[in-house]
Amino acid sequence: MQILKHTHFDFLRWRWHAIAASWIIIIVGLVTIVTKGIPRGVEFAGGTVVIEQFDQPISVQQVREALDRNYPAGGQNTVVQAYDDPSKRMVMIRVPQVGAESGASLSTTAQQVEQAIDKANLGGRHRQGAEIVSATVGRELESKGLWATALSLVGILAYLAFRFQFSFGVGAVVATIHDLLITFAFLAFFRYDMTLNVIAAILTMTGYSTNDTIVIFDRIRENLRSMRRDSMRDVINASINQTLSRTIITSGTALLTALALFFFGGEVLHGFAFTMVVGIITGTYSSVFIAAAIVSLWRGSAPTRAAAHAPASSSPTAPQQPQRRQKPQRKARAS
Amino acid sequence: MQNLRWKLLTIVVVFIAFASVGVYPLIAAWRGVHKPALLMDKQLKLGLDLKGGVHLVLRVNTDDALRIETETEMERLREELSKRGVMVTSLTSPDSTHFRVEGVSQAQDATFRQAVVDQNILTNFDRSSGTNGTYVLSMKPNVQVSLREEAVVQGRETIERRVNELGVTEPSIAQQGQSGDQILVQLPGVTDVDRAKEIIRSTGLLELKIVEQGPAATREALLQNGQVANGMEVVPGVSTPGDTAGTVFYLVRKVAAVTGKDLRNARQTVDENNQPAVGFTLTNDGAQRFGKVTGENVGRQLAIILDGRVQSAPRIESRISTDGRITGSFTQEEVQNLSLILRSGALPARMDYLEERTIGPSLGADSIRSGVMASVVGLLLVVSFMLVYYKLSGVNAIVALIFNLVILLGLMAYIGAVMTLPGIAGFVLTMGIGVDSNVLIFERIKEELAAQRGIRASINAGFGRVFWTLVDTHMAALISCAFLFQFGTGPIRGFAMTLVIGLVSNLFTSIFVSKTLFELALTRRQQVATLSI
């Protein structure tokens, strides 16, 4: 069985469309982030989360009213949500406040919230879980997260520059930054809390997307040796086409597992799985349309360096020139 | 053939080794079959998010340790100066790292300097002099750093002892944070959060000091000319046992007769009125000093000071040496906690809570269920796809996949890694990467076959070409993992750990195991015409 046989798509022809489309999503995402902010989970923002299980069935509305009346300090930022399956009668309450950072007073807010609920006579309840984080810890995590991301990008750039060429490293890193921005945009659109689990998913997806990119680059590297007389543009197109069915199958299976996590992974993995789904899609897209395009822009569409005598072709700023596109894909197979 | 036999043997041995470490204990625990102790030691541990428990982050107020050091040195100097008859107008400590001497007269300047040198104060402090016989002694920066580190390490060790006394199984206590002054405490399975929290952060500093004057209703009543007499201090306390509202003050000697460090043991007991009390036994050294002090002060009061508050101030009836009793208005539980805290020693500095997470056991169980459910569904989807798309070669990929999971479980159990919820996600991701490696190889073989190469040549070329691709992709993923591990706290580290192990085992299974299986299939037939892929 073969889903795709000998495709000859001219991916580079669409690179400006792809770059434009990406920019639109990124800009809309950035606008959303600037205007509405990225919702940050308590581990980053600091605050108090309690998960209460009630003895009797109870509506989220009742809990919210109880808090509005008896714990008005949370104000607009109080979040009350049903947690997990409704039959478990669990409610998650989040307020931005947190007790003072001295001695054991960190949990005072949690107690105030519980007292507020108890005042409303909603029946018996017990605490199933709590997450109380001071602002200090949140700040530290945030800066650590940024450093981890930046350093891993530098690490990948260095590795690819060493194993391939510098332009390939740049392509992979730009594609990764692209994926990060798109994923952040989607997280901002869909208002997912930035939690540690989501950060893990984001860092995984950067690894995954690089993985995809490297497979294509690897083929480009191989084809550069066997297609010495062809332009960089042809080599890149041929390479993407040759690896296309692998790209689709791999992304498809990865997407299947991510979707399984999304639908069956339970409340805690929801944000994680959502990020993975977005990341897999954008990672695949960027490997095909962005990473290689960056390499071709960086290197120009000139013939590969081993074939300096071959005719020069289009300049990088006018990629749509069709002059050489009709040329048959020669030797698509490596030696 | 000989070669192939060795390869198969290697595969079987590796499989059995990892399966017995990683998979067997899980099945044994689940089905209740015999568990050899050798294997059960290494059973895969569940993280807090799956098992339920308490996760606490404390910050050590390392300034406390510096202040204590500065004040101790200052008091030593004060004693030495009065012994040598050097008069100063004031000797104060404006902050935790400095103390200031004022009004050393010209005539006594040399004696003063000699006293500072003789007391070895300059090993830890830098001296700078100002006008009119003013000296400022400031703690050396490297001493500050090492004192801070020491305070955190001591704090961690004390907390470890307390947690062990609490009887928590498999606690995890570690230092963390950018400035290294945070202590992470994870207590799986603990449900009484408040008690655990209180016991962990109680300073537990016990001091027994002779009362010079008091109790008095106000602090001012104990002062002479508005100042505390030299070598004395004023300590607040409760007026009568049972009455927590009223505060009284005691003037006590600054130098403690004995402290918590001199305790050999502490236990629950009752006082003469049958009220809960803490009995203690002193070490030999402490008993000698205590005997001397109590012998000299029969008829006076002895203040029992815990964390800077007088708990009670009984009259010394006779000389006491080894055994004593702390009485006060304690409940049974307070006595129990207090004796535990005293046994484990005092914390070198105050502690603040920065983070508290509790995960109820049922929440954890739910998470396991959904995590495992998601993984199984994901696995089934991938397996059926591979079988449909790659037919018999798909079986090969699935064997490699299962092998991968077995190695993953085995290695995690062996190195004592902890399974967390993101760890389960790491499992799923490993499956994804494992499939990707096989897809890469199979697609390449298909390409080679389409180019009319022989089957053997195609397989060899497929594996050979893809090898470096796999190395590059795995290396890049490992680089990200390294930073993830560096950055991560508990669960994220679990995730990175799972992924690293998964990546390594995946290289082995997709390149070595999968290839050997192809070779095995090919040796059965002399002339191979078709390959089910």
B390 and B312 inside one domain: no
Quick check: is B293 in a domain? yes
B317 and B392 inside one domain: no
A160 and A257 inside one domain: yes
- Is the CB of residue A239 less than 8 Å away from at least one CB of chain B? no
CA distance A314 to chain B (A): 30
Q: What is the dihedral of CA B455, B458, B459, B463, to 10 degrees?
A: 180
Domain boundary residue among A133, A166, A198?
A133
Residue B486: what pLDDT?
75
Inspect the interface and report whether the beta carbons of B422 and A272 lie closer than 8 Å.
yes
Contact list in B for residue A225 (CB cut-off 8 A) is: none
Four-residue CA torsion sign, A278, A280, A282, A285: negative
The CATH number of whichever domain residue A181 belongs to comes to 1.20.1640.10
Alpha helix segments (H runs only) across B416-509: 421-450, 455-487, 490-507
Tell me the three state secondary structure of residue A79. Answer: strand
Does residue A282 surpass a pLDDT of 90? yes
How many contacts does A have with B, using Cβ atoms within 8 A?
Answer: 237
- Is the CB of residue A306 less than 8 Å away from at least one CB of chain B? no
Quick check: is A3 in a domain? no
B372 and B514 inside one domain: yes
Residue A279: what pLDDT?
92
Does residue A76 surpass a pLDDT of 80? no
A209 and A277 inside one domain: yes
Residue A322: what pLDDT?
43
A84 and A98 inside one domain: yes
- Is the CB of residue A282 less than 8 Å away from at least one CB of chain B? no
Structural domain that includes position B373: 2-51+362-523
A71 and A182 inside one domain: no
Four-residue CA torsion sign, A182, A187, A193, A199: negative
B69 and B107 inside one domain: yes
Lowest mean pLDDT among A216-220, A244-248, A318-322: A318-322
User: How far is Cα B258 from Cα A33, in angstroms, rounded to an integer?
Assistant: 60
Instruction: Please report which confidence band the pLDDT of residue A274 belongs to, taking 50, 70 and 90 as the band edges.
Output: very high
Inspect the interface and report whether the beta carbons of A144 and B178 lie closer than 8 Å.
yes
Domain boundary residue among A133, A149, A164?
A133
Question: Which stretch of DSSP H or E encloses residue A106?
Answer: none
Inspect the interface and report whether the beta carbons of A249 and B443 lie closer than 8 Å.
yes
B43 and B85 inside one domain: no
Quick check: is A101 in a domain? yes
Nearest-Cα residue of chain A relative to residue B393: A1
Residue A316: what pLDDT?
42
Contact list in B for residue A2 (CB cut-off 8 A) is: 446
Instruction: Please report which confidence band the pLDDT of residue A178 belongs to, taking 50, 70 and 90 as the band edges.
Output: very high
For chain B, the domain total comes to 3
Residue A107: what pLDDT?
82
The CATH number of whichever domain residue B273 belongs to comes to 3.30.1360.200
Quick check: is B532 in a domain? no
Inspect the interface and report whether the beta carbons of A264 and B367 lie closer than 8 Å.
no
B217 and B312 inside one domain: yes
User: How far is Cα A133 from Cα B354, in angstroms, rounded to an integer?
Assistant: 6
A72 and A100 inside one domain: yes
> Nearest CA to A216 among B401, B476, B505?
B476
Nearest-Cα residue of chain A relative to residue B180: A140
B37 and B93 inside one domain: no
Q: What residues have CB less than 8 Å from B445, skipping those under 6 apart?
A: B458, B459, B461, B462, B531, B533
Residue A27: what pLDDT?
92
Inspect the interface and report whether the beta carbons of A129 and B373 lie closer than 8 Å.
no
Residue B283: what pLDDT?
86
Nearest-Cα residue of chain A relative to residue B432: A254
Inspect the interface and report whether the beta carbons of B481 and A207 lie closer than 8 Å.
yes
Quick check: is B273 in a domain? yes
Structural domain that includes position A298: 11-39+138-307
Nearest-Cα residue of chain B relative to residue A245: B443
Residue A309: what pLDDT?
40
Q: Which of A106, A127, A210 sits opposite B353 (nearest CB)?
A: A106
Residue A24: what pLDDT?
92
Residue A306: what pLDDT?
44
Contact list in A for residue B386 (CB cut-off 8 A) is: 253
Inspect the interface and report whether the beta carbons of B381 and A257 lie closer than 8 Å.
yes
Quick check: is A77 in a domain? yes
Inspect the interface and report whether the beta carbons of A132 and B487 lie closer than 8 Å.
no
Instruction: Please report which confidence band the pLDDT of residue A308 belongs to, taking 50, 70 and 90 as the band edges.
Output: very low
Nearest-Cα residue of chain A relative to residue B200: A104
User: How far is Cα B277 from Cα B268, in angstroms, rounded to an integer?
Assistant: 6
A207 and A85 inside one domain: no
Tell me the three state secondary structure of residue B209. Answer: strand
Quick check: is B115 in a domain? yes
Mutation site for B-interface testing, chosen from A257, A270, A281, A284 by largest number of B Cβ within 10 Å: A257
Inspect the interface and report whether the beta carbons of A206 and B480 lie closer than 8 Å.
yes
B443 and B511 inside one domain: yes
Residue A321: what pLDDT?
41
Sheet of strand B98-102: strand arrangement: B90-95, B98-102, B135-139, B125-129
Contact list in B for residue A51 (CB cut-off 8 A) is: 360, 363
> Nearest CA to B103 among B115, B119, B91?
B91
CA distance A71 to chain B (A): 21
**Alpha carbon B385 to its chain's center:** 45
Domain boundary residue among B101, B125, B144?
B144
Which stretches of chain B score pLDDT less than 50?
none
Inspect the interface and report whether the beta carbons of B473 and A211 lie closer than 8 Å.
yes
A202 and A279 inside one domain: yes
Quick check: is A312 in a domain? no
Q: Which of A152, A214, A273 sits opposite B480 (nearest CB)?
A: A152
Q: What is the pLDDT of residues B385-436, one digit of tens each?
A: 889 988 888 888 888 888 888 888 888 888 877 777 777 777 777 777 888 8
A83 and A157 inside one domain: no
Inspect the interface and report whether the beta carbons of B425 and A269 lie closer than 8 Å.
yes
Contact list in B for residue A256 (CB cut-off 8 A) is: 378, 381-382, 385
Q: What is the mean pLDDT of residues A258-270?
A: 83
For chain A, the domain total comes to 2
Quick check: is B126 in a domain? yes
- Is the CB of residue A330 less than 8 Å away from at least one CB of chain B? no
Inspect the interface and report whether the beta carbons of A136 and B354 lie closer than 8 Å.
yes
Average pLDDT, chain A: 80
User: How far is Cα B23 from Cα B398, in angstroms, rounded to an integer?
Assistant: 17
User: How far is Cα A136 from Cα A102, in angstroms, rounded to an integer?
Assistant: 12
**Residues 50-89, chain A, touching B (beta carbon < 8 A):** 51, 53, 84, 88
- Through-space distance between the first and last CA atoms of chain B, rounded to whole angstroms: 24
Q: Which of B374, B389, B491 sits opposite A261 (nearest CB)?
A: B374
User: How far is Cα B363 from Cα A84, in angstroms, rounded to an integer?
Assistant: 9
Contact list in A for residue B59 (CB cut-off 8 A) is: 101, 136
Of residues A315 and A148, more confidently modeled: A148
Inspect the interface and report whether the beta carbons of B487 and A145 lie closer than 8 Å.
yes
Quick check: is A324 in a domain? no
Q: Model pTM?
A: 0.73
Does residue A331 surpass a pLDDT of 80? no
A237 and A303 inside one domain: yes
- Is the CB of residue A177 less than 8 Å away from at least one CB of chain B? no
Residue A319: what pLDDT?
41
Does residue A310 surpass a pLDDT of 50? no
Quick check: is A320 in a domain? no
Count CB-CB contacts under 10 A for residue A61.
9
Of residues A177 and A330, more confidently modeled: A177
Quick check: is B158 in a domain? no
> Nearest CA to A201 among A282, A109, A146, A275?
A275
Quick check: is A246 in a domain? yes
Does residue A328 surpass a pLDDT of 60? no
A100 and A225 inside one domain: no
A78 and A114 inside one domain: yes
Instruction: Please report which confidence band the pLDDT of residue A3 belongs to, taking 50, 70 and 90 as the band edges.
Output: low
Quick check: is A325 in a domain? no
Q: Which two tokens stand for residue B254?
A: 């600054």
Inspect the interface and report whether the beta carbons of B491 and A133 lie closer than 8 Å.
no
B351 and B366 inside one domain: no
B81 and B114 inside one domain: yes
Quick check: is B153 in a domain? no
B368 and B493 inside one domain: yes
A110 and A182 inside one domain: no
Instruction: Please report which confidence band the pLDDT of residue A137 belongs to, taking 50, 70 and 90 as the band edges.
Output: confident
Residue A108: what pLDDT?
85
- Is the CB of residue A335 less than 8 Å away from at least one CB of chain B? no
Domain boundary residue among B355, B375, B405?
B355
The CATH number of whichever domain residue A75 belongs to comes to 3.30.70.3400
Q: What is the pLDDT of residues A7-17, one digit of tens each?
A: 778 888 888 88
Domain boundary residue among B304, B320, B355?
B355
Quick check: is B398 in a domain? yes
Inspect the interface and report whether the beta carbons of A211 and B476 lie closer than 8 Å.
yes
CA distance A312 to chain B (A): 30
B342 and B235 inside one domain: yes
